[in-house]
Amino acid sequence: MKRWPLVLLLCWPLSGLAQDGFDQVMRLLAAVPAVEGEFREEKQLAVLQQPLVASGRLYYRAPDFLRKQTLSPQPEDYEADGDWLTVETPAAGRRQFDLNGYPQLRPLVEAIRATQAGDRNTLERYYRVEFEGAPEAWSLRLTPLAAEAARYVTAIVLRGRGARIASVETLEAGGDRSVMTLTPR
């Protein structure tokens, strides 16, 4: 029993260092007004033997614009601007969703958008946030707080360097997963 205070005392500074790293990364990300890059996404589905691979462009403009434009294997366009999500596909056409009315969608949008914005408050509104690393190489694990989102996603893990998100790994509740790798333009 006497060892617990010593263990807590030794661990406390480490959590403080992680907190400092998280704060530094959030400040670095918040200072970026816009990002444009290419993405490659591999989705591993239990029902398929080979992963689905998609590629395209990703755009971010502070504070709340995010666009994922898939070019291959078929065109799809997802654009989040403020409270609105616009989805355009060849099969379904153009549809708009008020994110306030879709509690399962908003956290998925905010995982990337709020991270790139350095918006800690929004991240903590939708996720339990776990940070590892330092500004030079960091990892952010987001676990959904709301049951609506947790039905679809177990966790989202973002990895990056400085003010750049390098990859986004999405772990789905059914066991499927996707990894999107981002390359700046």
Residue 114's CATH number: 2.50.20.10
Q: Does residue 135 carry a pLDDT above 80?
A: yes
Q: Does residue 7 carry a pLDDT above 90?
A: no
Q: 3: pLDDT confidence band, cut at 50, 70 and 90?
A: very low
Q: Number of helices and strands (H, E) in the chain?
A: 4, 11
- SS3 assignment, position 68: strand
**pTM of the predicted model as reported, rounded to 2 decimal places:** 0.87
Give me the number of domains the chain comprises. 1
Q: What is the DSSP annotation of 102-119?
A: -TTTHHHHHHHHHHHHT-
Q: What is the pLDDT of residues 95-130, one digit of tens each?
A: 999 999 988 889 999 999 999 999 999 999 999 999
Domain that holds residue 28: 3-184
